[in-house]
Amino acid sequence: MSVFWTVWISILLLGSIVGCYVLLKLAQKGQSGEDENVKTGHQYDGIEEFDNPLPKWWVWMFIGTIVFGLVYSVLYPALGSFQGFLGWSSQGQWEQEVASKEHEYAAIFNKYAAVSVKELANNPEALKTGQRLFANNCAVCHGSTATGSRGFPNLADKDWLYGGDAETIKQSIMNGRFSNMPPWGSVLGEEGVANVTQFVLSLSGQSHDAAATEKGQTSFKQFCISCHGAEGKGNVLFGAPNLTDNVWLYGGAKEYIAESIGLGRKGVMPAHKDLLGDEKVHVIAAYVYSLSQ
């Protein structure tokens, strides 16, 4: 904070406190102290105005708040960049609380880390913790019930891009996943994309045009099987989806399939190793694993 703002805030704050005191003194001015029933001489509709002294308890409370305000501004950060004599800061308090909680939970997370992800999935307490961590860190993309949405895979079913065994799930979370489906629009042309789209529709048993499918199959053999496999069943090494099961990451309608093929797709699952640390990921992995069991 610049010197200007520090001076500005200090003048405003201390000025207001002094102003309060002056106001009090002004209100007491001319009052003889104890005298009750001093009339001002003003009268409205038979109601007379008195100039009685302010009640003592009220005056002391007012002075009390002024003193409190002054003491507070000296002890705590209130006057611009001045940190206060107690050295308190909200950041410091937060760090202290986090540190004490981390310490408290470390024992629990260490206990969880000692068993495998698969075994941990049988521990209801761990799953509850995993669910909370999931809600805070993963639900934005995968949904609060982990069922995903377009472009974000469902983690609660048995269909996996990279594999659904406990350790692979943990790897997906720890290191993240980048998949790359190259765009084929410029290679195949509009008609080529339309033909291969018909072939992909046939793979999942959807209605398709027979002649176009046949042409599409030739392109598929040439360009697609390196990742999606000869039968279109996908490959967990590249995260290439199974195209035969009618479970779709980007949608299984003709337009969506053609869009996937023509423009390509690049799904990114961010790595959580550094964000959450191994122990928390371990517990989340157990939760995710449990969903499809």
79 vs 284 by CB, closer to ligand HEC: 284
Query: What's the min distance (Å) between Cβ of 128 and ligand HEC?
Result: 15
**Shortest Å distance, C-beta 232 to ligand HEC:** 8
Kindly state the smallest distance separating residue 204's Cβ from ligand HEC, in Å.
10
Rounded Cα distance between 77 and 13, Å, is 12
Query: What is the closest distance, in whole angstroms, from the C-beta atom of residue 153 to ligand HEC in the complex?
Result: 4
**Cβ atoms of residues 236 and 172 within 8 Å:** no
- End-to-end Cα, the chain, rounded Å: 55
Q: If we measure between CA atoms, which residue out of 162, 120, 158, 247 comes closest to residue 131?
A: 120
User: Distance between CA 246 and CA 259 in Å, rounded?
Assistant: 16
Round to whole Å and give the CA distance between 235 and 237: 5
**Whether 276 contacts 212, CB under 8 Å:** no
Q: Which is nearer to ligand HEC, 117 or 240 (CB)?
A: 240
Distance CA 282, CA 53 (A): 71
**Cβ of residue 131: shortest distance to ligand HEC, in angstroms?**
11
Q: How far is the CB of 124 from ligand HEC (least distance, A)?
A: 19
Give the residue carrying structure tokens 């703002």.
5
Residues near ligand HEC (CB under 6 A) are: 134, 137-138, 140-142, 151-153, 155, 160-162, 169, 172-173, 177, 179-182, 184, 196, 200, 220, 223-224, 226-228, 238-241, 243, 248-250, 257, 260-261, 265-270, 272, 284, 288
79 or 201: whose CB is closer to ligand HEC?
201
What tokens were used for 105?
């939970």
Q: Which is nearer to ligand HEC, 111 or 177 (CB)?
A: 177
Nearer to ligand HEC, 109 or 162 (CB): 162
CB of 136 to ligand HEC, least distance (A): 9
Task: Please tell me the distance from the alpha carbon of residue 217 to that of residue 213, in angstroms, as a whole number.
Answer: 6
Class of residue 114 by CB neighbours under 10 A (exposed 0-12, middle 13-18, buried 19+) = exposed
Q: Is 79 or 220 the residue whose CB approaches ligand HEC more closely?
A: 220
Which lies closer to ligand HEC via its Cβ, residue 79 or residue 155? 155
At its nearest, how many Å lie between ligand HEC and the CB of residue 240? 4
The Cβ of residue 268 has, within 10 Å, a number of other Cβ atoms equal to 12
Q: CB-wise, 126 or 257, nearer to ligand HEC?
A: 257
- Provide the CA 284 distance to its chain's centre, in angstroms: 16
Q: Which residue is nearest to ligand HEC (CB)?
A: 267
Listed residue (80, 90, 85, 31) closest to 59, CA to CA: 31
